[in-house]
Structure 1
Amino acid sequence: MSDADRSADGPTVTIARSPIAAPEPLVPHRGWEVSGRRSAAALTITDLTPLAKVAVRAPMDGAVQRALGAPFGRAARDGAPALDGTLVVGSGPGEWLVLAPVGTAGEVREQLAGIVTEAGEFGTVVDLTHGRALLRLRGEASADLLAKVCAVDLSDAVTPDGAAFRSSVANLVTDVVRDDAGGVRSYLLHCERSSGQYLAAALLDAGAEFGIDVDGFRDPGI
């Protein structure tokens, strides 16, 4: 998950790397190696694996869910006062995935543990940052691309902005979140780390007819 690299000043620093091959130029970002590539294409794919990813499990429809502000099947930004700058995803019954800026996993995990304790319910909080891969598709053709590899109805009536679901994408179990960015249709796709490169390659292949291009990581990423 990480290697020892040498910085320009000489000392050894630890650089974490995504399982998804990053196009050059490669640049360091808060302990991660990311792509600095910039694309103006109408449809882009971006590797967001460096984002903090923390999983929460607690009773469905309980105090923790009310505190997080995201029921099953929905995503909410800044669901709790302590979680400013995050995206909380109701990824399953009694399951939540909290996405936050790079390098904040420890802080977010502590905040979530506090929420669970205050709720008085049995729950677990686990940092998944280095164990999962995360991608963003952005562009009006993103739904057309996903329709080629996913059988879910992606119309606005069924999966509007903020919808979250778990489905097969290119024959891979994937958490999908409709998360429009700047008024442009956009989807987050979350999977096991070991499948990240496969998912990225499958999406690039399916998006070739739409002119998909790779766009590098941009802070804050969510």
Structure 2
Amino acid sequence: MSSTAPAVARSAISPADPVLRGGWEVSARRSTADLTLSDESSLAKILVRGGVNGAVRQVVGTRFGRAARTERAGHPVLAVGSGPGEWLVIGPTGTARALLEDLESAASGTGEFASVLDVTHGRALVRLRGRRSADVLNKICGIDLDDASTPDGAALRTSVAAVATDLVRDDGPGAGEPSYLLHVERSSGQHLFDVLLDAGAEFGIEVTGPELDTWSE
């Protein structure tokens, strides 16, 4: 009697030194370079749409243009105000179902129209971390990334490497260095990753595995 192998989820970005973690094929590579790029696509990603200033905004917990670390369904999440009346909730790998159900229940309780959609497998998410990360982005993005203009917690939608991108400044607790999350359609993931590597070459950029410990329970 044959047994069926468990399904393996894969990002649009080819992993270096692939291993399985949480049902996903991810990179096992670890770099201590001052500038790193990682594929974080295995993180849960829930898209929420509703009224710009209504109760749905209160449910998600942040406003347009800002990102905030909070908790949902017992899991740490990053809630991102990615557009007017549009939010992205990012959580630990494997929590998409729990986050989806929690957000659907909370949004329906407001009495307002809202849509809640799991886009985990349909989107790519990468993290650029390091002191020179803004210098890398300045080569392929027209946004002013000075600390005064885009501090930790800033969120915006812009063009990066000619790709429509949600760009989030997310230094993380106690990180002490700039870190940016870049969220794009799955089909653009590998292109964005490759362009970021090329732009960061002069600054010594290295690929590292996903920072899944950042989202530990």
Question: What one-letter code is carried by the residue in structure 2 that aligns with 1:193?
Answer: R
Aligned partner of 1:120 in structure 2 is 111
Aligned partner of 1:67 in structure 2 is 59
* Per-residue deviation, residues 89-110 of structure 1 (Å, max 9, x unmatched): 0000000000000011011000
Could you tell me how far apart the structure 1 residues matched to 2:92 and 2:73 are?
Answer: 14
Q: Is the 8 A contact 2:73 2:98 kept in 1?
A: no
Could you tell me how far apart the structure 1 residues matched to 2:207 and 2:34 are?
Answer: 11
The secondary structure found in structure 2 opposite 1:197 is helix
Could you tell me how far apart the structure 2 residues matched to 1:43 and 1:21 are?
Answer: 20
Q: Is the 8 A contact 1:58 1:121 kept in 2?
A: yes
Partner of residue 33 from structure 1, selected from 25, 28, 34: 25
Question: What one-letter code is carried by the residue in structure 1 that aligns with 2:37?
Answer: I
Partner of residue 194 from structure 1, selected from 187, 191, 198: 187
The secondary structure found in structure 1 opposite 2:8 is strand
Question: What one-letter code is carried by the residue in structure 2 that aligns with 1:191?
Answer: V
* Per-residue deviation, residues 163-193 of structure 1 (Å, max 9, x unmatched): 0000000111100000013121000000000
**TM-score, normalization by structure 1:** 0.92
Aligned partner of 1:153 in structure 2 is 144
Q: Which stretches in structure 2 are left out of the alignment for 5+ residues?
A: none
Question: What one-letter code is carried by the residue in structure 2 that aligns with 1:96?
Answer: W
**TM-score, normalization by structure 2:** 0.94
Could you tell me how far apart the structure 2 residues matched to 1:81 and 1:134 are?
Answer: 20
- 1:10-21 to structure 2, matched below 5 A, reads 12-21=5-14
Deviation of 1:27 after TM superposition, in Å, equals: 1.0
Deviation of 1:117 after TM superposition, in Å, equals: 1.1
Q: Is the 8 A contact 1:102 1:220 kept in 2?
A: no
Q: Please tell me the root mean square deviation across aligned C-alpha atoms, in Å.
A: 1.3
Question: What one-letter code is carried by the residue in structure 1 that aligns with 2:149?
Answer: V
Q: Which stretches in structure 1 are left out of the alignment for 5+ residues?
A: 1-9
- Change in Cα spacing, 1:81 to 1:13, as seen in structure 2 (3 Å) is closer
Aligned partner of 1:57 in structure 2 is 49
Partner of residue 209 from structure 1, selected from 198, 202, 214: 202
Could you tell me how far apart the structure 1 residues matched to 2:32 and 2:25 are?
Answer: 22
* Per-residue deviation, residues 91-150 of structure 1 (Å, max 9, x unmatched): 000000000000110110000001101111100000000000000000010000000000
The secondary structure found in structure 2 opposite 1:198 is helix
1:172 aligns with 2:163: yes
- Change in Cα spacing, 1:144 to 1:60, as seen in structure 2 (3 Å) is same
Could you tell me how far apart the structure 2 residues matched to 1:82 and 1:23 are?
Answer: 32
Q: Is the 8 A contact 1:83 1:108 kept in 2?
A: no
Q: Is the 8 A contact 2:72 2:99 kept in 1?
A: no
Deviation of 1:11 after TM superposition, in Å, equals: 5.5
Could you tell me how far apart the structure 1 residues matched to 2:61 and 2:208 are?
Answer: 31
